[in-house]
Structure 1
C-alpha cells in the first residue's frame, strides 16, 4: 500500500515537470508561468511581512511582561523589607515591655 502511494506521488511529480516543460515552450505558457511566479512571490512577501509584524508584536508583549515582572519583584522585595523592619520593631517593643531596663 505504501509503495503504491510512493509510486503515484513520484508519477505526479514527474507529470508536473513534464507539464511545466510543455507549457514553458509556448509563449502564452511562459507568460502564464511568469504571472504565477509573480503572484507566488507577492504571496510569500505578504506572508513574510505578516510574520515579522507578529514577531515584533510578541517581542513587545514579552518586553512589557518582563518589565511588569521586574516591577512586581521590586515591590515584593520592598514589602518584605518593610515587614522585616516591622517585625524587628515589634520584637524590640515587646522586649522593652517584658523587661524594662530603666
Structure 2
C-alpha cells in the first residue's frame, strides 16, 4: 500500500514539473522533442509487431493442416 502512495506522489510530481517546464519556450521545445521521439518509438514497435504478425500468419497459412 505504501508503494502505491509513493507511485501516486511521483506521478503527481511529474505532472507538476512537466507543467512548470511547459511554461517556457525552451521547455515546450524540449517536451515536443521528447514527445516526437516517444511517438516514433511507439510507431516502430507497432510496425515491428505487425510485420512479425504477418510473417506468422503467412507461415500458418502455408503449413499443412495437421488436425
> Please, what TM-score do these two structures have when normalized by structure 1?
0.61
* Aligned counterpart, 2:17: 19
Distance apart, 1:21 and its partner CA = 0.3
Distance apart, 1:61 and its partner CA = 0.6
Distance apart, 1:6 and its partner CA = 1.7
Of 32, 40, 43, 2:41 maps to 43
Higher relative contact order (CA 8 A, sep 6+): 2
* Aligned counterpart, 2:3: 5
Structure 1: stretches of 5+ with no match in the other structure: 74-102
Query: Where do residues 1-102 of structure 1 align in structure 2 (5 Å cutoff)?
Result: 2=1, 4-65=2-63, 68-69=64-65
4+ residue segments displaced more than 3 Å:
none
Distance 1:21 1:31 in 2: 13
- Which structure is larger by alpha-carbon Rg, 1 or 2? 1
Distance apart, 1:9 and its partner CA = 1.0
> Please, what TM-score do these two structures have when normalized by structure 2?
0.91
Structure 2: stretches of 5+ with no match in the other structure: none
